[in-house]
A = this chain, B = another copy of it.
Amino acid sequence: MQPAAADPAAQVDYASLPDHVGYLLRLAQLRVWEDFYARLSATGITPSLYSALVLIERNPGLQQSRLGEALGVARSGAMTMVDRLERQGLVERRPAPHDRRAYGLFLTADGRRRMPEIVAMVQQHDRQINAVLSATEHRTLMTLLKKFVAAPAQRGNSLPAMEGDPTVSRQKRSGSRTPRTGRRQSKPREE
């Protein structure tokens, strides 16, 4: 995303671009992410990982599939997220009580210990991000965004994670679908 050196882009006429909500939404989100990453880079927590953490903290024992559904990612994507959080020692998978296929997700002791700090960093990030708006403006923006999002969608409508996603494009375009192969074994930790 390298910023234009001096400002060669200044000569370009952006025409109608800034009149599109989508364009502004993207710029805004980009700005938010930049600050998020800059601020939390040391922790290795990304926006999507953070949203997973919050959900797991608030819904102890949550299953991976449920997490994925809640965050709008495929099961395999949820896997990756949980793997990362597990590797960071923040989250653990415990066998589900009544279903030997499933696991429940929990914060580890370390995760519970570190959570407040992480949350504080994110809140600080939020404050920084919102600093450009007055309290009233911020409230208004949140209200409008919520209204925008809550509106009945043409298609399904869950609440996805906090992360970028070239997904939509991929899904909706491309008429060619090629099947795959591959695999080997599963659940190498249950014998």
Cβ of B133 and Cβ of A148 under 8 Å apart? yes
**New A-B pairs, 6, CB < 8 Å, besides A4-B156, A8-B69, A15-B54:** A21-B28, A21-B138, A22-B29, A25-B145, A31-B151, A164-B166
Mostly, the A contact residues are: helix
**Stretch of A87-95, A168-176, A179-187 that contacts chain B:** A168-176
Cβ of B166 and Cβ of A27 under 8 Å apart? no
**Stretch of A57-65, A96-104, A106-114 that contacts chain B:** A57-65
Cβ of A167 and Cβ of B1 under 8 Å apart? yes
Cβ of B15 and Cβ of A57 under 8 Å apart? yes
Q: Which listed residue, B20, B32, B160, B161, touches A126 by the CB 8 Å rule?
A: B20
Cβ of A55 and Cβ of B21 under 8 Å apart? no
Q: Which listed residue, B13, B22, B46, touches A32 by the CB 8 Å rule?
A: B22
Q: Which listed residue, B17, B149, B169, touches A159 by the CB 8 Å rule?
A: B17
Size class of the contact patch on chain A: 35 or more
**Neighbouring B residues of A190 by C-beta, 8 Å:** none
Cβ of A171 and Cβ of B1 under 8 Å apart? yes
In the bound complex, what is the Cα–Cα distance between A82 and B55 (angstroms)? 41
Q: Which listed residue, B31, B35, B130, B144, touches A133 by the CB 8 Å rule?
A: B144
Cβ of B18 and Cβ of A146 under 8 Å apart? yes
The reply on A117 being an interface residue by CB < 8 A is: no
The reply on A79 being an interface residue by CB < 8 A is: no
**Neighbouring B residues of A4 by C-beta, 8 Å:** 69-70, 156, 158
